[in-house]
């Protein structure tokens, strides 16, 4: 790839390289973003075979099999290599044409593939057989010297896994269990779920202890929250009743105060006017002696008597 990018101007080559790096980085974990980066690289350098190949794998990972096949064909025309033949056949399967994929497995290009490529082509052919409902033929297709070998290669785990899965489909459960176990032995990188399939056949169920612990904590928290809600709900009517009683007491006190102020006024308006009481004048009483003395004083004080004259 580096040699191909050297044919581009330096700045352009750097831009293309950055996008291709992102494609390789995201291809497994985020196929959609990987596909987006591949389209950018393709716009920048569509005449570079490595770019067309990367765009093909990005489209393949994103499920765009027709587009992927077109990019793989373009790359193959540029390089003349048969390396992409198995994945091109698998694109045919993805497009719903297993017969075409099976026909490609018999083409001369397969003989030009290395051992890994030939095993990959066998896997695609077996998959095409199963797509066509030929499960027994799929089992036969996978039987090969590579399957019988005890040597472990990068493709060994996938080949054994595919064979075990095909055996299980035709009802050979014991044989399938044996080959799932062999696949697990060869699966050093964890590329398959052979351990899960093996446990499933043995009736073993795995429980995530941490997940259960978190679930228990969440359950306890929910229970406490519900209890608080119930307490608050129960307390609310009592508080409301207390507040209502207080309000009624205050209302009664206010009514009583109003009554105390207004009742005298009402009584004064309704009462009959008070009649004045007749009081006899006080006449002083004198004794006869007092009368004589009083009379003498009057005579002495009377002006213009005959004596004076």
* pLDDT above 60 (res 179): yes
Q: Residues 260-292: pLDDT tens digits? A: 444 444 444 444 444 444 444 444 444 444 445
Considering the entire predicted model, what is its pTM? Answer: 0.66
Q: 1-81 architecture in CATH?
A: Alpha Horseshoe (1.25)
Q: Residues 246-263: pLDDT tens digits? A: 555 545 555 544 444 444
Q: What is the mean pLDDT of the chain?
A: 80
Tell me what percent of the residues of the chain surpass a pLDDT of 90.
61
Residues 211-216 have a mean pLDDT of 58
* pLDDT above 60 (res 133): yes
Point out the least confidently predicted range of 11-15, 106-110, 196-200, 234-238.
234-238
Q: Residues 89-126: pLDDT tens digits? A: 999 999 999 999 999 999 999 999 999 999 999 999 99
* pLDDT above 60 (res 229): no
Q: Residues 12-44: pLDDT tens digits? A: 999 999 999 999 999 999 999 999 999 999 999
* pLDDT above 90 (res 230): no
Q: Domain coordinates of the chain in residue numbers?
A: 1-81, 208-246
* pLDDT reported for residue 215: 62
- Top pLDDT among 236 and 136 is at 136
* pLDDT reported for residue 225: 60
Q: In 3D, which of 196, 198, 193, 208 has the Cα closest to residue 176?
A: 198
* pLDDT above 80 (res 304): no
Point out the least confidently predicted range of 94-98, 195-199, 204-208.
204-208
* pLDDT above 60 (res 84): yes
């Amino acid at each position: 790839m580096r040699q191909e990018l050297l044919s581009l101007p330096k700045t352009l080559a750097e831009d293309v390289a950055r996008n291709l790096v992102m494609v390789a980085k995201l291809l497994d974990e985020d196929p959609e973003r990987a596909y987006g980066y591949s389209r950018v690289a393709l716009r920048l350098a569509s005449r570079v075979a490595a770019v067309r190949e990367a765009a093909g794998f990005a489209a393949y990972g994103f499920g765009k099999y027709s587009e992927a096949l077109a990019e793989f064909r373009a790359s193959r025309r540029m390089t003349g290599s048969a390396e992409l033949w198995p994945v091109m056949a698998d694109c045919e399967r993805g497009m719903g044409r297993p017969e075409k994929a099976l026909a490609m497995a018999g083409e001369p290009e397969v003989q030009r593939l290395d051992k890994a490529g030939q095993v990959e082509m066998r896997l695609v052919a077996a998959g095409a057989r199963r797509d066509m409902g030929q499960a027994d033929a799929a089992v036969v297709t996978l039987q090969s010297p590579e399957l019988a070998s005890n040597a472990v290669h990068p493709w060994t785990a996938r080949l054994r896994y595919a064979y075990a899965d095909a055996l299980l489909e035709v009802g050979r459960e014991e044989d399938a269990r044996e080959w799932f176990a062999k696949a697990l032995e060869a699966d050093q990188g964890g590329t398959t779920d052979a351990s899960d399939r093996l446990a499933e056949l043995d009736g073993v169920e795995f429980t995530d202890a941490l997940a259960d612990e978190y679930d228990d904590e969440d359950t306890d928290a929910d229970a406490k929250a519900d209890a608080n809600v119930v307490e608050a709900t129960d307390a609310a009517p009592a508080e409301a009743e207390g507040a209502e009683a207080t309000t009624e007491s205050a209302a009664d006190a206010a009514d009583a105060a109003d009554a105390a102020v207004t009742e005298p006024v009402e009584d004064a308006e309704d009462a009959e006017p008070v009649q004045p009481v007749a009081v006899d004048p006080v006449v002083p009483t004198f004794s006869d002696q007092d009368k004589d003395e009083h009379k003498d004083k009057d005579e002495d004080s009377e002006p213009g008597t005959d004596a004076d004259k």
